[in-house]
Amino acid sequence: MKQGHSLFVTGTDTGIGKTMITACLTALLARCEYDAVPYKPIQSGGIRMGDTLIAEDVAFYQSIHPLPYGQDELCTYCMEPAVSPHLAAQQTKVFIDPDCIARQLQILRKNHDFVVVEGAGGLAVPLYESEQGIYMTDDLITHLHLPLLLVTHPGLGTINHTVLTVKYAQAHGIPILGFIVNYMPQQPNSMERDNVRMISELTGLPVLGSFPQITDTAPEALRMQLDELRTHINLALLLERLEQAEAELLQIKRMEE
Ligand SMILES: Nc1ncnc2c1ncn2[C@@H]1O[C@H](COP(=O)(O)OP(=O)(O)O)[C@@H](O)[C@H]1O
Ligand SMILES: [Mg+2]
């Protein structure tokens, strides 16, 4: 019987390292005997190769950890324009159906201990427009009943970016497990150290990991560094926070039914 845990990886911005963290977290969980897989429901900026579109994030996951799936199972909507999903969907006439994403996530959860879901961009990202209004990333997260793992950075501006993202998630009733601070220098300066302290103080949320600035991000080099990277993520605390959030989300789900 698989455990079916799941969480949603978001970031303070696009390019913050969500794919890096999703891929490495999946691989690190697998090293702790969890059968973990990543899932990217919506990818814009797909790379055209003849008749097919390559979801770059999925290709990266596959290069870091062997996965028993092809792209179709790990990415439900891959669109070519490198713009916000709502615009990519409009331009390519794709109809994004949150229930289709929920069904695929359910299949993965049934068959694996852990599904690490990666969002597109940050949290306040429109996914599609309809007569009912604008469907946002936070609507999808609420629909999927997932807690958030927030990838952030230690540099200038992070206090503002991180606190705004946390407040936005909280305003939409989404539980947050904590932060992974990406691009952490080996020897952080006083500002970087204080930034990390301050985002935790201001939000009351734990730092679950400080992921280092990596010199060689080629997949083969990264695979060699996984044991080292494992020391930078507090998996025990992440799992503890996840169990609490899952209990909270289960209650919400029961009240909705
Ligand atoms: N800790 C890190 N050290 C060095 N490069 C990184 C690190 N995290 C991410 N990157 C690089 O930064 C770029 C953006 O990261 P990515 O994970 O794709 O971000 P996102 O998924 O949030 O858009 C990629 O080229 C990735 O290899
Ligand atoms: Mg990504």
Instruction: Give the pLDDT confidence of 87-141 residue by residue, as tens digits.
Output: 999 999 999 999 999 999 999 999 999 999 999 999 999 999 999 999 999 999 9
Ligand 2 center–CA 19 separation, angstroms: 4
Instruction: Look at residue 1 and tell me whether its pLDDT is greater than 80.
Output: no
Average pLDDT over residues 146-169: 98
Query: Bridge partners of 129?
Result: 134
Ligand 1 pocket mutation pick from 8, 20, 150, 217 by most atoms within 8 angstroms of CB: 20
Does 53 score more than 80 pLDDT?
yes
Which tokens sit at 104? 């695929």
Please tell me if the CB atom of residue 43 comes closer than 6 angstroms to any atom of ligand 1.
no
Q: Would you list the domain boundaries of the chain?
A: 5-256
Is 110 catalytic? The answer is no
Give distance in angstroms: CA of 251 to centre of ligand 2.
31
Calculate how far, in angstroms, residue 17's C-alpha sits from the geometric centre of ligand 1.
Answer: 4
Percent of the chain with pLDDT over 70: 100
Instruction: Return the CATH class of domain 5-256.
Output: alpha beta
User: For ligand 1, atom 14, which residue shows the shortest CA distance?
Assistant: 15
**pTM above threshold 0.85:** yes
How many helices and strands (H and E) does the chain possess?
A: 10, 12
pLDDT, the chain, mean: 97
